Amino acid sequence: MVMKTEKNRQTANLELVKQSNLTLVFNFINAHQPVSRASIARATGLSPTTVSSLADELISENMIEETGMGTLHGSGRKPIMLAVKTDGGCVVAVEVRKGTLEFEVFDLKGNSVVYQKCGISDYEKLGDIIADEVEKIYKGHGRLLGICVGVPGIVDKRTKRVLSKLIPVNRDNNFFDVLRMRFPDVKIKLGNESSFCAYIEKVEAKKDIHSLVYIDINVGIGSGIILDDRIYTGAFGNAGEFGHMSVDADGRVCKCGNRGCIEEMAGPPAICKALGVSSISEIDTNDKSVYEKLDDICKYFACGINNIMNMINPEAVVLGGEVTYLGQPFLDRIKKKLDEIMFSADPEVFSLRFSSVSGNAVTKGGGKYLLDRIFEDGDFIIE
Ligand SMILES: [Zn+2]
């Protein structure tokens, strides 16, 4: 019995190694194509035999192709070059919003090939509505390899259910199970939208970075965490509740029951209240006195960001959402406060900035995350 378990474990380990090597080779080809088998072996440290066998598998899966002879460096035969087969497959990323669903199809090179919106009113049928649209939208772009769904809510990792106040989806809604039934052979990822925003911010960052926190500042404040290039959501899926981090133990009572939460003390409603306006877009950003009135708000944000720095020490913190309307002077004021209190980051590396991603960051980030891990196994595979 023990022998059998050990053997199963070894088989599982071998399978994991293979998946990780396939990911390594496929992603290397995608980043450096056209490229020879010998170059892949040199760059990845895998043996030439392993690279050849993995390349054969990717060719038989129709995911890469031989594109002809490359140039010869030194003596011997000219190498045969490999490139990703653009139409060899695709992934579909979906953003579930209030009243609409947004879909984006990506080819194997990560190019966006279709972007489409549709209205939704009956969230009880969310699983079937997503599945019907996905079936229509990916046609003509090769085999469907994966679906990634981003939602504005907490995803329970254990039950694969979502709890959201922004869309009418609660723990009874089994849309993930419906998708799993409708697409039994397809990789499906489900995650909080801020996680996918965080991932695309990391991918599109000017520097090569591996850790980042994205804070989405709207009426609700959420965040997405990237650690070692992966989305981190914690043991239960609730990590990243930046909005409910307290910055004043004696502050105002928040709807969560705690006191002094950032969402309560510094979110858009608090900003509007401090300035006597009803929405952020009414604020005159040319009026310098505006920023002086937001001094406490900036202090609260700096305090919260400093807590993030002390806890997980990311290379970048990116702010997005409606608060970006307040522009650079707002960010500069937070930075100044942060500089006064932060001691745990290298100023040469660390950056605090506004989001710079164009297009739909949720679908872009979800699609990229899925493509970067397309060989990873498992049903519900968000970390
Ligand atoms: Zn709270």
CB contact set of 234 (below 8 Å; sequence gap of 6+): 240
C-alpha 265 to ligand 1 mean position (Å): 10
Residue with tokens 């309560």: 264
Report how far residue 225's alpha carbon sits from residue 238's, in angstroms, rounded to the nearest whole number. 11
C-alpha 32 to ligand 1 mean position (Å): 46
Indicate the domain borders of the chain. Answer: 2-84, 88-197+361-372, 206-354
Encode the chain (383 residues) as per-residue pLDDT tens digits. Answer: 455 677 788 887 888 888 889 999 999 999 999 999 999 999 999 999 999 999 999 999 999 999 988 887 777 788 899 999 988 999 999 999 999 999 999 999 999 999 999 999 999 999 999 999 999 999 999 999 999 999 998 888 888 889 888 899 989 999 999 999 999 989 999 999 999 999 999 999 988 999 999 999 988 899 999 999 999 988 888 888 999 999 999 999 999 999 999 999 999 999 999 999 999 999 999 999 999 999 999 999 999 999 999 999 999 999 999 999 999 999 999 999 999 998 777 777 899 999 999 999 999 999 999 999 888 865 444 54
C-alpha 148 to ligand 1 mean position (Å): 29
C-alpha 145 to ligand 1 mean position (Å): 39
Residue (of 158, 153, 190) closest to 170 by Cα position:
153
According to the model, what pLDDT value does residue 383 have? 41
C-alpha 126 to ligand 1 mean position (Å): 29
Cβ neighbours around 257 below 10 Å, total? 8
Report how far residue 314's alpha carbon sits from residue 342's, in angstroms, rounded to the nearest whole number. 13
Residues 192 and 155 sit within 8 Å (Cβ to Cβ): yes
Does this model's pTM top 0.85? My answer is yes
According to the model, what pLDDT value does residue 19 have? 87
- Domains 2-84 and 206-354 agree in fold: no
Report how far residue 268's alpha carbon sits from residue 297's, in angstroms, rounded to the nearest whole number. 10
Residues 166 and 152 sit within 8 Å (Cβ to Cβ): yes
C-alpha 86 to ligand 1 mean position (Å): 46
Q: What is the CA radius of gyration of the chain?
A: 23
C-alpha 249 to ligand 1 mean position (Å): 11
CB contact set of 9 (below 8 Å; sequence gap of 6+): none
C-alpha 227 to ligand 1 mean position (Å): 24
Chain centroid offset of residue 366 CA? 5
Report how far residue 330's alpha carbon sits from residue 333's, in angstroms, rounded to the nearest whole number. 5
C-alpha 235 to ligand 1 mean position (Å): 20
Q: What is the 3-state secondary structure (H, E, C) of the chain?
A: CHHHHHHHHHHHHHHHHHHHHHHHHHHHHHHHCCEEHHHHHHHHCCCHHHHHHHHHHHHHCCCEEEEEECCCCCCCCCCEEEEECHHHEEEEEEEECCCEEEEEEEECCCCEEEEEEEECCCHHHHHHHHHHHHHHHCCCCCEEEEEEEEECCEEECCCCEEECCCCCCCCCCCHHHHHHHHCCCCEEEEEEHHHHHHHHHHHCCCCCCCCEEEEEECCCEEEEEEECCEEECCCCCCCCCHHHCECCCCCCECCCCCECEHHHHHCHHHHHHHHCCCCHHHCCCCCCHHHHHCHHHHHHHHHHHHHHHHHHCCCEEEEECHHHHHHHHHHHHHHHHHHHHCCCCCCCCCEEEECCCCCCHHHHHHHHHHHHCCCCCCCECCC
Assigned CATH for 2-84: 1.10.10.10
The packing angle between helices 295-312 and 268-275, to 10°, is 160
C-alpha 242 to ligand 1 mean position (Å): 9
C-alpha 254 to ligand 1 mean position (Å): 5
C-alpha 371 to ligand 1 mean position (Å): 35
Q: Going by CATH, does the domain composed of 206-354 fall within 3.40.640.10?
A: no
Say which CATH superfamily domain 88-197+361-372 falls into.
ATPase, nucleotide binding domain (3.30.420.40)
Residues 165 and 110 sit within 8 Å (Cβ to Cβ): no
Cβ neighbours around 341 below 10 Å, total? 13
C-alpha 184 to ligand 1 mean position (Å): 39
C-alpha 256 to ligand 1 mean position (Å): 4
Residue with tokens 């090769």: 142
Report how far residue 383's alpha carbon sits from residue 30's, in angstroms, rounded to the nearest whole number. 23
